[in-house]
Each structure stands twice: as structure tokens, then as C-alpha cells.
Structure 1
Amino acid sequence: MIPTHNQSTIPEFFLLGFQLLHRSRIILFSTLLLVYIMTLTGNLLIIILVLAIHYLRSPMYFFLSQLSSCDIILATSIIPALLHITLENGIPVSVSQCIAQFNFFSFSSATECLLLTMMSYDRYVAVCKPLHYVTIMNFPICLSLVVLSWIFGFLLTLIFVILLSDLTFCNSKYIDHFFCDILPLVQLSCSDTTVVRTVIFLVGVPETVIETVFIISTYVCIFHAIHRISSTTGRQKAFSTCSSHLAVVCTYYGTLIAIYVFPSGEHSAGINKIVSLMYTVVNPLLNPVIYSLRNQEIKTAIMKFWGKIIRR
């Protein structure tokens, strides 16, 4: 049973993790470890392929390699600690460690959202303006979009980290979650959290909504352009160029909006954990899988790369 709240300033938190799955912790630990290994392998493979295979050095695959970098940071900020929590049935973390984990998690998540938005624009230009694609999506433009995504993701996270660092925590040291997210931390603060909650609402929610609207708008234009293609083969070919990205966007933004835009009440902490598990653990694994299974160029590159390794 969780003790009553301690009203003095606390030096550390205690991440509870999945308390109800205590008896199945070995199975959960093994599954999470396998997922983490596969996530690192899949995303590193994407990065290596884009660097090593010349015909993958296009804007789409350049963005994809950056997306894989984000997935590695996201998974590494969450899963190793989750493995520890699973074995120990909860672990103590200092306030600074907790904020540091949130920093890496938020930075990779914000950057990934921006990269997915940039990728939707890339697919829009490829389908709707194919004759101008090389001119519009040249390497300096792509590099600028990627750098801006990383910088903007860092700045957004920095705002939240600074605000969290100014809070005093004394309501309780127990976090009923498996990682240090901003909403549970704000709930545990005994400081005035009005500014933090206002910034979350005025910055976090509009960012997600604007990105979502932009992506939807680009795909409306894409589907309209595909619909105007006369041949069935032409339609299928055009749609195949953006189907992988669309699948990733749907899974990623679906869970993101479920958690932060329409959060559940405190009685639904278990549901929040499950959705968060999808967002932080499953999605980084799904991204390389989706792009590998639905993209013939990636599959060909894997076979070519594997052939080179065998010949050595």
C-alpha cells in the first residue's frame, strides 16, 4: 500500500511501473528487452542503409534516417529504466534524474513530431508537384528543415524543463507511471503550477494540433492528386510512395493525441500507461518495421547490404 503524502520537500521519486503485473514481471522484462534490441537493430539498420546505399540518399530517406535517430533516443530514454522498474517492481529516482529523463523523452518526441510533419510536406511535393520535386526538395532545403526540427524540438523541451526545475515537490514521492512525464510531475508539485499548466496548454496543445492539421491538409491534397490519375497502376504507385509515412503518422499521432490532447482522468491511470507504452515502446519499433515491409527500395537495400557482409 502506498503511504500517505509527505508534506516535506522530497529528494527523490518512486516510479511504480506496472504493479498489477508483478507476477508476470519476468515475461514482461523478457518482452521489453526483446523489443528494445529489435528497436535499436531496426533503426540503426535504417541509418546505416541510408548512409551506405547511394540510391537511398534522397530526401525521403534522409528524413527517415533522422526519424530513426529520434526513435533510438526515445526508446533509450524509456526502456532501460522500465526494465529496471519491471525487475524491482518499482525504483527510486532523484528529482534531477526524473527531469533529465523527461528532457530526453520530450526532446526526441517533439523532434519526431516535427520530422513527421516535414516528411508529409516532402510527400506532398513528390505527389502533387513531381516536376519541381528535385528543385524544391534539394539537399540544402532538406538539411535546413531537419536542423530546424532538432533545434525547435530542443527549445520546446527547454521551456518545459526550466519550468519543471523551478517547482518544489512535496505532495508525494510516488509516481503511478513507468517514466517521468510532465503531467504526473505537475500533479506532485506543491508549488503554484498555474504557469506550467498554462504553458502546456498554450504551447504543447497548439503545436500538436497545428502539426496534425498541416499533415491532414497535405494528405487531402495528395489524395486529390492521386484521384486525378487516370490509370490504376499510376494511382497505386503514387499511393505507395506515401503509405508508409501515413501508417507511421496514424499510429504516432493517434497515441500522442490520446495522451496529451484528450487525457484520461486519474481513475484511468492504467489506460494512460497502456497508451503511453504504445507511444514510447511500440512505436519506435513499428517505424522501421513499417518502412521495411512496405518499401521495396528498403528491402532491396537490406538484401544488397546483407550480401556485401556475407561476401566479406
Structure 2
Amino acid sequence: MEKIKIITDSTADLPEYILKKYDIEVLPLIINFGEESYRDGIDIDIYTLFNKMENSSIFPATAQVNPQVFLDCYSSYIKKGYKIISIHLSSKMSGTYQSACIAKETLKSEDIVVIDSMNVTSGLGIQVIKAAKLKGAGLGIKEIENEVKKISPHIKSTLAFNSLDNLVRGGRLSKTAGVIGNILGIKIIVEVKDGEMSVVDKVRGSKKVLRSMLTYLDQRGIKSAEDLILLHVGEVDILDSLRENLNEKKLDFIECEVGCTVGVHSGSGACGVFFVEDY
């Protein structure tokens, strides 16, 4: 049986118990506050981040994992006889995937598989967990790569934000979407589609937001409760109702909290569901 190491980046937003359970290595993206730099989840946590954002005129910038970090990490595991599955946030959102590819090319190793998740946060997390379970089932790195790539286009999401300001400031949504989301109590519901943030629906009021999200879940259908993640950060008025609805449907799900890199863009109030659609 192959010795395989699963590697991802900090935007997977997986809880510590999952990382320990599946022995997953996480490489941190960087949060830059002016001249200060922090490793996501190591030097700064999400609540410290929000506190700094509230008390600073500087809007933080996020930076990719650089190739040297990947090179050092890959080299250490290859020397120990491991093969590597490295899965990362969408190449349309960050250069992290490209950094991983550069490191693989530098090492010229066939024992490293790098996957562009075309997703972020829990959409990436679902793929990482899938890879870890397949590793546990005894599959090789090429088989794992094929299986992860099969589910990747079928990962769906529905996300609600208290404010779209950070998504717009961070370049994740258009200014037009942000303006609409800030007038007349209109709420914009977002998904990750083709590796980028995309507007799904525009509704007014929290009850309609919840209804729209639940309708989306019902229409897509959930393939397996094993591939279902409830993601949130801060106070969101529909979170309890969303959680209650998933419990009523007797769906098991992992609950995750947004990390710092994603939190820069989401702001302090967001929640949503990531899942593999029934295909």
C-alpha cells in the first residue's frame, strides 16, 4: 500500500479534528496588513483579523502560498517515501495552485499530483476529505486524482452574506452586485461557479434568503450527507434555521468556520452550504 500524504492550503477551512483524523497537511496563505504579514491560522485567527479590520483604515490583502514553501514541503515528504496529493483553491482566485505546479515541475517527480479544486473554502474542503477517504480505502494517487476530479464539477454551494462590501473590495464580486446588495434591503445569494464567485439570486428579507437557499438544495439534490458542509462565520440571522432544516432532513454534515483568508472577503457575517449534487 502506497504511503500517501494529502496536502491542501488554509482556504480549505477544515476544522482541526478533521485535519488530525485524516492526517492532512495545511499550508497557510498570507494576510498582509500594510507592512505586517501573518500566516493564516498560525499567526492570526479569524476574530483577531476582524478586530484588526474594524480598528484599521487598511483593507488587508491576501497572498498565495509561494513556490518555495511547496518545494520544501514536497521535498520533505518525498524523502520520507511518500507520494503526494496536493489540492488547492481555484486557480481563478489565487496563484497558489500555480505555485504548487512550479514546485512539482522543479522536483520533476511523478509521485506528486496537484489538483485545481476550482473551488474555495468548504468546496475545496469536500475534495480534500474525499481524497483522504480514498487514501484510507487503499487507492493510489492517480486513482484518487481521477475520483476527486469526477466530483469537482458537481460541488455546489449557496451562500448568504450580511454585507457584500468585502467581496467587492477584495475583487471577488463586481461593484454592480455590491451596489444592488446594499439598497432596499435586497440580499444577494452567491455560489462558487466555474472557479469564481457568481450571483445566484436577489431577494428581499431573511425569510426569502432562507427559502431561496433551501430551494436550491432541493433542486440540486444532495448525493451524500458525507459530502455536506455547513459553513459560517459571525452572526447571521438565518444560520440557526439553516442548521435546523438540515437536522430535520436527518442529514449528517460537518460544520466549519471560515478562516482568515476567506474571512477577509466574506466579512464577519456569512453562512452557506457546500455539497455534492446528485448526479
TM-score, normalising length from structure 1?
A: 0.32
Q: When you count helix as a share of all residues, which structure comes out higher?
A: 1
Point out the structure with the larger strand share: 2
Which TM-score applies when normalising by structure 2? 0.35
